[in-house]
Amino acid sequence: MKNVYMDNNATTRVAPEVVDVMLPFFGELWGNPSSMHYFGGQVARHIEAARAQVAALIGADPTEIVFTSCGSESDNMATRGGLEAAGPQIRLITSRVEHAAILGPARHYAEHGGEVVEIGVDASGQLDLAELHRELANGHALVSLMWANNETGVIFPIDEIAAMVKQAGSVFHTDAVQAVGKLPIDVRRTPVDMLSLSGHKLHAPKGIGALYVRKGTKLNPFLLGGHQESGRRGGTENVPYIVGLGKACDMAAHYLGEETTRVAALRNRLELGLLDTCPDTSINGDRIKRLPNTCNISFQFIEGEGILYHMSDAGIAASSGSACTSGSLEPSHVIRAMGVPFTAAHGSIRFSLCRYNTEEEVDYVIETLPPIITRLRELSPFV
């Protein structure tokens, strides 16, 4: 039996080259980077080198990068810290298809008296820009909208959105956790004020992320009690993981062309193969404006959990939505917001590939999955 991993939007394998650069920081380079002596100073230099590598991937200045523990912390720091810095009565504008790391703080803010607006999406998962324009006209706001959706891969028109937010005089944060390393990003050209990224989505370890904060953006610290990260996040730096993130970002820049060509071709091969061999299937989300690695496909009349169970038995790993919502039997909030019919919403599966996937793995899925779908439909009360 093959083992085929196609759940890279949930997490990626750590690149061997990333592991190699991390290892010395568990051994001989063990100093605290905040210490004034030699042991600390030599480690601190590696942190700053990694900061430059992360900044280079998105076109930022190294001083604009704040290291965090993950994408969720970066999102919380941007939203909660941004709202706090802006003062009372500021509105939070977001969308109905955001990751839980944004919707959680948004609903917390609403429960404590803040005004939150969730912009809708159309059937292809694209943001309602007319609704956003109307809400921006209602006064100063903190706007948090994802660059690319973690479940469908749909890419929002961030350049256009950023221009709209800037013209309205509001502050713009984008959750780019799924976009960084898969799409070209240059914050010198796209006027976002804050941008979140996560290491384990681009072949760095879990437990490390970063937040880009444009110079001059008001943001209150999320963790207090230390001078680290120029006073923007207290706590001793996670040096091995920071160094690993820097290496992963450096590698992501090198492999960006492969993500948009070879990985996209593998995704298309998988998608067309399943559409051709499995009746009553459909793609969820924009077929053009989406991440090159992501396919969200609905198999009508059956439950996604059943599909995943049988695929796992065959050595195939995929997902029915965000890893942060696994265990729920309800259709994902993203699929519901797009208005996907009930008979298809419950049978939605996300395949997310990476540069380590092969044509042989894709062909194995195309060969293995159709019989699974046929057997499950024979047992389904909905057919």
Strands 294-299 and 209-213: unpaired
d(CA 112, CA 300): 40
Examine the residue annotation and report whether 70 is marked as an active-site residue of this protein. Answer: no
C-alpha distances in Å from residue 147, one per residue of 123, 172, 174, 244, 349: 18, 12, 6, 24, 21
* 176 contacts 201 by C-beta, under 8 angstroms: no
Q: Choosing from 70, 295, 324, 354, which is the catalytic residue? A: 324
Q: Is 381 exposed, middle or buried (0-12, 13-18, 19+ CB in 10 A)?
A: exposed
Nearest of 240, 262, 348 to residue 24 by alpha carbon: 240
Question: Which two structure tokens, joined as six digits, stand for 123?
Answer: 């059937």
Strands 348-352 and 294-299: antiparallel
Those residues with Cβ within 8 angstroms of residue 70's Cβ, 6 or more apart along the chain or in another chain = 198, 199, 200, 206, 207, 208, 209
Cite the active site residues.
324
